[in-house]
Amino acid sequence: MSDTSETAAAPNWFMAVGVLFLLWGLAGIYAFYSQLTTPYEQLVAQMGKAGADCIAAMPQWLWWVYGVAVWSGTFGSVALLLRRAWAQPLYLLSLAAVIIQFGHSFGVAKIQDIMGWGAAAFPAFIIAMAIIELWFATSAKKKGWIV
């Protein structure tokens, strides 16, 4: 490809992956909004006192990091569907925010001491998804599927 402004033909499954990533991002926004706005008593009923206490104890700055993680990942998916290369830095920002968020949760707040190491399974999946999204956007950029 000599002209970097041209988009190469992407495989048929490219848009399906983009839609799956977008749905994942929207689920993240829903979780963020729900955890941010649900009253403590309702959180206790939904996830138990230990889980609700962990959410209630999150410092304000960490909520901003959480928001950056889900919104930048979702906008990265929109960019991917529009076949724009700015998906890559948005996914990178999302991955960085996810690492900061869970780094605090496990390294500082020590939620594993409160909820057990089983509580690490879903955060590990979230980190893996952020890595996969970034890898996919990077690969798509190299192949010219996004410009």
Residue ranges making up the domain that contains 91: 14-142
Assess if residue 147 is contained within a domain: no
In terms of Cα–Cα distance, which of 88, 76, 81, 91 is closest to 127? 91
Nearest 5 degrees, angle CA 101-CA 76-CA 25? Answer: 60
Number of domains in the chain: 1
In terms of Cα–Cα distance, which of 119, 145, 144, 146 is closest to 1? 144
Assess if residue 7 is contained within a domain: no
Q: Could you report the per-residue pLDDT of 105-134, keeping only the tens digit for each?
A: 998 988 888 888 888 899 999 999 999 999
**Does 83 have pLDDT greater than 80?**
yes
Assess if residue 1 is contained within a domain: no
The residue behind tokens 């020590």 is 110
Assess if residue 8 is contained within a domain: no
